Amino acid sequence: MSTPVAPHEFSPWDFWREADAAQQEAQLERQRVLVDGHPERSLGDLCFVSELASVDHDALRLGDRTYIAAGAYLTGELVAGTDCSINPYTVIRGRVTLGDAVRIGAHTSILGFNHSMEPGTPVFRQPLTTRGIVIGDDVWIGSHAVILDGVTVGSHSVIAAGAVVTKDVPAGAIVAGNPARFLRRRVEPEDAEPLSSGAPASDSSSLGERVVRFGERVRADASSILVRSWRDETRSFVDRPGAAPTVRAQADAIEIADLLTRSAPPQIPADEQIRRLHAWQDLTTGAVAPLGPDGHQRSGLDFSDEDVAYHVLSTGYGLDLLGSEFPAELTWVTEATPESVVEFCRGLPWETDAWKAGHHVDGFGTALLWTKKAGVAVPDGVEEALFGWLLLNADPRTGMWGSPTVDRGLLPVVNGFYRASRGTFAQFGVPLPHPERVVDTVLRHADDPRWFAPGMRNACNVLDVAHPLWLTRSAGHRSDEVRTLAERLLSDALTTWVPGEGFGFREPSATTRGLAETEPGLQGTEMWLAIVWYLADILGIAGELGYRPRGVHRPEPAAALGAIV
């Protein structure tokens, strides 16, 4: 005889009140297996995941008291708030965000992806596309409903059983049918909560007035931000309370102090900080290795390591702001040849991970900068090989390098372009080869809700849009659209500052609260302050901020190509 299925597998809402100790421990073990080794997965308290559900997510976050019943089939990226129910045989695939208290009836399909269907190619060979689905708080979705990719469902709404939802549902609405149509309101418009990023709505003041007040606020908060991330016991900075010291945190503290106070962080004398940064550089190779969990530098790493490559930027600009420089040559440049530079550029993963490729070009370009500023001779042809390869290999259709990917679209291309162009064309004041195509690509990318819907934006993705648009502003291409985007991003960014603490790396929202990346820290603060400056400068109001980046995100070229500075 087969073992009967426990009723809680299909009806889990009373599990934590009714299950015995052995059943509860088995459920907790099931959750540990789902989460262990998967940093992109997290489950809140008193969640339930049925043994009979298929849960195979790239990323999964469940709020407290959210449950998944038997027969559910879940893949892709799911972020769910508290008190959500995913009932038997529900299918949730692709990129889906649920607010708090979302109830999903049995046999419902929420499909945050789609197939292309251009003629001439079988559908099964065509790439998948993903726009994502966002569902607000307190939403009831009836059994056998279908919600298609790209839809936003407003808070307090009701999706009737069997409805096929192909377009956005207003907050508080009741919809039904195929395709779903508005029936009536569950909540009147004046009482409905709009879908929100979690930040307070902006006031009626002009954006320029808000920028003035923001600049005053952040300068007043500079001291408390640095104090919050300082650790007396190690005499070092951490990104945020509870984090371990890192090389980048020391540099971010220097950048923030310089940006907002035009001085070094008062917690440690500038000469002591210089000595520490000098001591971290390997005098043989010039590399700065990351710190391990014990606070000591890791060994055996060279410039091919992502952290080592970035430390050329963070440590180099930290020293520059303190009036110093690297004590040792950067052999990444001084031992290069034109042939090795071309081989280096060709060998980067432009087609599979253009961000990583751009990251290493940024590091090499900045190593070239510090070599020139130190008065050290750059081997003949190295600069020409780097810029020549980039100029010859820029895609005239996008103005960028590399290719979109099926799962991330243009994200790696645009982010990789920012990194590669920042460390080369921007840093040395060289004109871009296809500025109008860059604008087209960035605007197309900024329409992707996976990265730019409220609650989905982070500092990396927004900076990597803001800087290229600023860098290409003199082209005047699609300037009205650029300004509209800049106004929206800037207005939203101003609302996410936490007084006395700064910016989180990722903007907060109802569905992202509790994530470590939304907690204010030095990295998020330094990056978002730069973002605010670039967006404000696109709009002609950066002068109202009272600060201007002078480090990694400085707007002016740091050196002239072909000249020793």
Q: How far is CA 224 from CA 273, 465, 486, 496, 521, in A?
A: 20, 30, 29, 17, 12
The verdict on whether 115 is a catalytic residue reads yes
Q: Give the closest residue to 94 by CA, choosing from 116, 73, 67, 112.
A: 112
Instruction: Name the token pair of 542.
Output: 């950066």
Cα dist from 208 to 259, 542, 555, whole Å: 20, 9, 20
CB–CB of 374/325 below 8 Å?
Answer: yes
Whole-Å CA distances, 277 to 205, 261, 282: 44, 21, 11
Distances (CA, A) of 307 to 83, 178, 220, 291, 296: 39, 52, 32, 10, 15
Compute how many other C-beta atoms are within 10 angstroms of the C-beta atom of residue 557. Answer: 14
106 within 8 A of 125, measured Cβ to Cβ:
no
Residue 153 parent element (H or E): strand 152-153
Q: How many CB atoms lie within 10 A of CB 343?
A: 12
Longest dimension (CA), the chain: 84
Q: Is the dihedral of CA 505, 506, 509, 511 positive or negative?
A: negative
Distance CA 223, CA 34 (A): 42
Q: Is 84 left (phi over 0), alpha (psi -120 to 50) or beta?
A: beta
Kind of pairing between the strands at 109-112 and 164-165: unpaired
Q: Which of 38, 115, 144, 477 is catalytic?
A: 115
**Phi/psi at 467 (nearest 5 deg)?**
-65, -50
Query: 308: closest CA among 280, 284, 283?
Result: 280
Q: Which of 538, 536, 555 is nearest to 546 (CA)?
A: 536
Question: Any idea which residues carry the catalytic annotation?
Answer: 115
